Amino acid sequence: MATKSTTRKTTKKAQVKTQRTSTSVEDFIDSVESETRREDAKAIDRMLREITGEKPAMWGPSIIGYGEYTLRNSMGEAQWPKIGFSPRKNANVLYLLPELLASDPLMQKLGKYELGKACLYITRLSDVDMDVLRELAARSWKQMTEKYG
């Protein structure tokens, strides 16, 4: 009698590469080459510190994050900032709640920006209404805190 052999495929989940580091946020911001981008990063940092009441931390080499929650997705579980930003070469990238970016009516009043999946790209803060940006960030923080503690 022949027996049927079955093999199980085991898939190893990849580890999230972006982890919290001990790098100084202030030193990182001071190292931003563009003076405009550096000054915008300082303004965003002040705004997010005020909104969150959190001291930021570096996540990987270029993300400044505030707060922390457990992100669960197809890769598994990982710690991730509740809100954050990165002063990139071409734009400041803000990491806000994706549902907020997709549907909040305030987005129409923000000014000049581009959207990614969960990212808001702002070339210069002078291109956006700072009161609207502050409100969007506050809404994102509030909803993330309600959802994840």
Question: Looking at the domain assignment, is residue 5 inside a domain?
Answer: no
Task: Check residue 11 and give its pLDDT.
Answer: 47
Question: Looking at the domain assignment, is residue 113 inside a domain?
Answer: yes
Residues in the chain: 149
Domain residues for the domain of 80 are 25-148
Task: Check residue 15 and give its pLDDT.
Answer: 59
pLDDT digits (tens, 9 = 90+) for 21-80: 999 999 999 999 999 999 999 999 999 999 999 999 999 999 999 999 998 877 778 889
Burial 82-92 (b: 16+ CB within 10 A, else e): bbbbbbeeebb
128 contacts 113 by C-beta, under 8 angstroms:
yes
Question: Looking at the domain assignment, is residue 20 inside a domain?
Answer: no
pLDDT confidence tier of residue 19, bands split at 50, 70 and 90: confident
Question: Looking at the domain assignment, is residue 15 inside a domain?
Answer: no
Question: Looking at the domain assignment, is residue 59 inside a domain?
Answer: yes
Closest CA to 143 of 109, 104, 85, 87: 104
Q: How many C-beta neighbours within 10 Å does residue 23 have?
A: 15
122 contacts 94 by C-beta, under 8 angstroms:
yes
Say which CATH number the domain at 107 has: 3.90.1150.200
d(CA 76, CA 50): 32
pLDDT confidence tier of residue 118, bands split at 50, 70 and 90: confident
Task: Name which residue leads in pLDDT, 100 or 15.
Answer: 100
Question: Looking at the domain assignment, is residue 6 inside a domain?
Answer: no
Q: How many domains, in total, are found in the chain?
A: 1
Question: Looking at the domain assignment, is residue 135 inside a domain?
Answer: yes
Question: Looking at the domain assignment, is residue 99 inside a domain?
Answer: yes
Question: Half-sphere exposure of 84 toward its Cβ, with a 13 Å CA cutoff?
Answer: 22
Task: Name which residue leads in pLDDT, 27 or 102.
Answer: 27
